[in-house]
Amino acid sequence: MENGVSDEVGYDVRAVRQDFPILGIQVHGKPLVYLDNAATSQKPQVVIDSLVHYYTRYNANVHRGIYTLSEQATAAYENARARVARFINAPSPECIIFTRNTTEAINLVRYAWGADNVRAGDEILISEMEHHSNLVPWQLLAQEQGAELRFLRVNNEGRLMLDGLDVLITEKTRLIAVTHVSNVLGTINPVKGIIKKAHKYGALVLLDAAQSVPHMPVDVQELDCDFLAFSGHKMMGPTGVGVLYAKPHLLEAMRPFMGGGSMIRKVMLAESTWADVPQKFEAGTPNIADVIALGAAVDYLSDLGMANVREHEIQITQYALDQMREVSGIKLFGPWELQTRAGVVSFVLDGVHPHDIAQILDSEAVAVRAGHHCCQPLMRRFNVPATARASFYAYTTEEEIDALLEGIHKAQRVFGHAIERSV
Amino acid sequence: MQLNDLYKEIILDHYQSPHNRGRPPHADIEAEGSNPLCGDDVEIFVLFDGDRVKEVRFDGSGCAISLAAASMMSEVLEGKSKAEVREIGDLFKAMMHGEDVDLPEEMEDLEALKGVANFPLRVKCALLAWTTLEHGMANENVGGRVSIEVD
């Protein structure tokens, strides 16, 4: 591989980059190196065009107007639902509920499923590596219902300690809520095995797929997960739209989430009946433009091929890890085995706080995240207040990794470290 | 936006060789401040001799700016009266919000932090120790340890 051109057949990272206008901009007079994809991704022109097209050509409310524009908007909105369903191999479009983001999708499950299915004395199993969005809702539910939270721990390598699973799952376990891919460690969790075991005990499984669906092929029927949540903005789509997938019989049995227009069938003064799934869970005017643009993002990713995206990220992550491990005074987090690791690299440097790393990298136009990454328990587990994190995507090049490394060396220079480069 | 405005040598010196770092066995004011968003934590301990500051010590973990600011603060406040401490705190805050202020001559170290004002996201780092101290002093009569979270 040279000059950042990937050697996978049919995958040309340079051509991919051409589709993203923002990747051509400069920051502080230097070309942007965007390595914060775990926080949010950049958008290809087709997604931006989709938004503009909707607002300039057929902006209208959905599911109500008997006129051409509304029909067009409704068709495009429902078409996006069908494409998202296909993208994760959901059995039907009706299993796809549009929310604001992953957080709202998880909270939907907490309210619409949790309130009726988790009782006093029941147990919810979550892991130590959860993002706060897949932790706090279950703390709240457990408190409300008098249920108990139990925890899957993380080992030094950054993997879930699944030896304890047999002890942790009991007949009282109602739900296992676990992340598919860690947003800090990059660990790809062996969720299929967890799901199988959970189902043996009659427990359901919710997957936080915010870091998996954008980066690798995900098949909800093959995984057999009960709920799966992800965000549009992390997969080249716009902000403000998230997705909840749930098995059809669960959605049928669940109570509504929010009340209002669109989610009703018949409304009387004292009571109402509910619309069919999925409308039952989408009260009020939905985020029409962004849902349609998410459909465009899904098409774009499908054209790239999720297996190609994953393969590219494996190569870029390998390239990054190979160089980063040679930096003196660096500590890297997460598994080394690339087949079960996503393109996320958290690190700390001796004598340079993560915020200072990020600040100095910014002066080189390299955008990384520094902080606790909404994973305070995981930070405690690894005994660090914060880490710096570089996260990659389909458009990340080897030159960008080189720029990251240059920036890391600059940070060490600013803080007066000896520079030892053995690469 | 110049990186040198932020990471001046004197700031890095204070960060790497902090002055007055550590917990004293006894303190008249004990205050802890944290910025939960960054994960920065600082503890400030003040010993008074009558109305005057005998000693300020600090401990904690955080970025170069927040710890250097704590170290500098601990130095400049020694020997100051409570009223002077408040006055200097107000001046420092004004400086961090981009105002032109005249710092007393013996406090020119603090001036090194002036450049932080150009980095809005880092201003809270420079202010963490000062805000914590202010909170501690405001609650001095209450006694015991006080804590504050800043955003």
Q: Looking at residues A205-228, what average pLDDT do you find? A: 98
Selected for mutation to probe chain B from A27, A136, A346, A356 (highest B CB count within 10 Å) is A356
Q: Which of A303, A322, A348 is the last residue of a domain?
A: A303
Listed in sequence order, the residues at least 6 apart from B3 whose beta carbon sits closer than 8 Å to its beta carbon are: A359, A360, A363, A414
Q: Which of A252, A276, A303 is the last residue of a domain?
A: A303
Secondary structure of A104-163 in HEC code, one letter for each residue: HHHHHHHHHHHHHHCCCCCEEEEECCCCHHHCHHHHHHHHHHCCEEEEECECCCCCECHH
Query: Based on the domain organization, do A262 and A331 belong to the same domain?
Result: no
Percent of chain A with pLDDT over 90: 93
Q: What pLDDT is recorded for position A417? A: 56
Q: Looking at residues A21-48, what average pLDDT do you find? A: 98
Q: What pLDDT is recorded for position A423? A: 32
**Nearest by CB to B64, which of A353, A363, A385?**
A353
Q: Is the pLDDT of residue A6 over 50?
A: no
Q: For residue B83, give how far its alpha carbon lies from the nearest alpha carbon of chain A (Å).
A: 34
Nearest CA in chain B to A357: B63
Q: For residue B16, give how far its alpha carbon lies from the nearest alpha carbon of chain A (Å).
A: 8
Q: Do A359 and B122 touch (CB under 8 A)?
A: yes
A225 among known catalytic residues: no
* Phi and psi at residue A58, to the nearest 5°: -145, 30
Query: Based on the domain organization, do A287 and A332 belong to the same domain?
Result: no
Tokens of A190: 């062996």
Q: Looking at residues A65-78, what average pLDDT do you find? A: 94
Query: Based on the domain organization, do A216 and A310 belong to the same domain?
Result: no
Percent of chain A with pLDDT over 70: 96
Whether residue A40 is contained in a domain is answered as no
Domain count across chain A: 2
Whether residue A356 is contained in a domain is answered as yes
Query: Based on the domain organization, do A268 and A396 belong to the same domain?
Result: no
Q: Looking at residues B26-31, what average pLDDT do you find? A: 94
Place of tokens 């349609």: A292
Query: Based on the domain organization, do A254 and A333 belong to the same domain?
Result: no
**Which helix (H) or strand (E) element contains residue A400?**
helix A398-414
Query: Based on the domain organization, do A209 and A346 belong to the same domain?
Result: no
Q: Do B63 and A355 touch (CB under 8 A)?
A: yes
Would you say how long chain B is, in residues? 151
CA distance A414 to B8: 9
Cβ pairs bridging A and B (under 8 Å): 46
Residue A278: asked if its preceding bond is cis (omega within 30°), the reply is: yes
Mean pLDDT, chain A, whole residue set: 95
Domain count across chain B: 1
Q: Which of A252, A269, A303 is the last residue of a domain?
A: A303
Partners of residue A354 in chain B, C-beta under 8 Å:
63
Q: Do B12 and A414 touch (CB under 8 A)?
A: yes
Whether residue B149 is contained in a domain is answered as no
Q: In B19-51, which positions are buried (b, 16+ CB within 10 angstroms) versus exposed (e)?
A: bbeeebeebbbbbbbbbeebbbbbbbbbebeee
Q: Do A416 and B63 touch (CB under 8 A)?
A: no
Whether residue A322 is contained in a domain is answered as yes
By the CB < 8 Å criterion, does A386 face chain B? yes
Whether residue B72 is contained in a domain is answered as yes
Q: Do A351 and B16 touch (CB under 8 A)?
A: yes
Q: Is the pLDDT of residue B78 over 60?
A: yes
Q: Looking at residues A396-417, what average pLDDT do you find? A: 95
By the CB < 8 Å criterion, does A414 face chain B? yes
Partners of residue A417 in chain B, C-beta under 8 Å:
none
Query: Based on the domain organization, do A252 and A180 belong to the same domain?
Result: yes
Q: What pLDDT is recorded for position A420? A: 40
Kindly state the DSSP code that residue A419 receives in the 8-state scheme.
P
By the CB < 8 Å criterion, does A190 face chain B? no
Q: Is the pLDDT of residue A78 over 50?
A: yes
Q: Which domain holds residue B137?
A: 3-142
Top pLDDT among A91 and B148 is at A91
Whether residue B111 is contained in a domain is answered as yes
Q: For residue B145, give how far its alpha carbon lies from the nearest alpha carbon of chain A (Å).
A: 22
Q: What pLDDT is recorded for position A421? A: 36
What residues form DSSP beta bridges with A207? A178, A228
Which among A108, A101, A347 has a CA at the least distance from the CA of A209? Answer: A101
CA distance A349 to B70: 22
Q: What pLDDT is recorded for position B1? A: 61
CA distance B118 to B120: 6
Give the CATH number, domain containing residue B100.
3.90.1010.10
Whether residue B150 is contained in a domain is answered as no
Query: Based on the domain organization, do A54 and A199 belong to the same domain?
Result: yes
Q: Which domain holds residue A179?
A: 48-303
Partners of residue A388 in chain B, C-beta under 8 Å:
none
Question: B140: pLDDT confidence band, cut at 50, 70 and 90?
Answer: confident
Whether residue B112 is contained in a domain is answered as yes
Q: For residue B125, give how far its alpha carbon lies from the nearest alpha carbon of chain A (Å).
A: 10
Whether residue A36 is contained in a domain is answered as no
By the CB < 8 Å criterion, does A413 face chain B? no
Q: What pLDDT is recorded for position A9? A: 59
CA distance A153 to A146: 22
Whether residue A94 is contained in a domain is answered as yes
Query: Based on the domain organization, do A252 and A137 belong to the same domain?
Result: yes
Query: Based on the domain organization, do A225 and A198 belong to the same domain?
Result: yes
Q: Do B3 and A353 touch (CB under 8 A)?
A: no
Q: Do A363 and B61 touch (CB under 8 A)?
A: no
Q: Looking at residues A116-137, what average pLDDT do you find? A: 97
Q: What pLDDT is recorded for position A1? A: 40
By the CB < 8 Å criterion, does A332 face chain B? no
Whether residue B148 is contained in a domain is answered as no
Nearest CA in chain B to A355: B63
Give the CATH number, domain containing residue A178.
3.40.640.10
Mean pLDDT, chain B, whole residue set: 91
Give the CATH number, domain containing residue A24.
3.90.1150.10
Whether residue A282 is contained in a domain is answered as yes
Query: Based on the domain organization, do A111 and A189 belong to the same domain?
Result: yes
**Nearest by CB to A353, which of B3, B62, B119?**
B62
Q: Do B38 and A416 touch (CB under 8 A)?
A: no
CA distance B130 to B95: 13
Whether residue B9 is contained in a domain is answered as yes
Query: Based on the domain organization, do A240 and A214 belong to the same domain?
Result: yes
Nearest CA in chain B to A29: B1
Asked if ipTM goes beyond 0.95, one says no
Whether residue A271 is contained in a domain is answered as yes
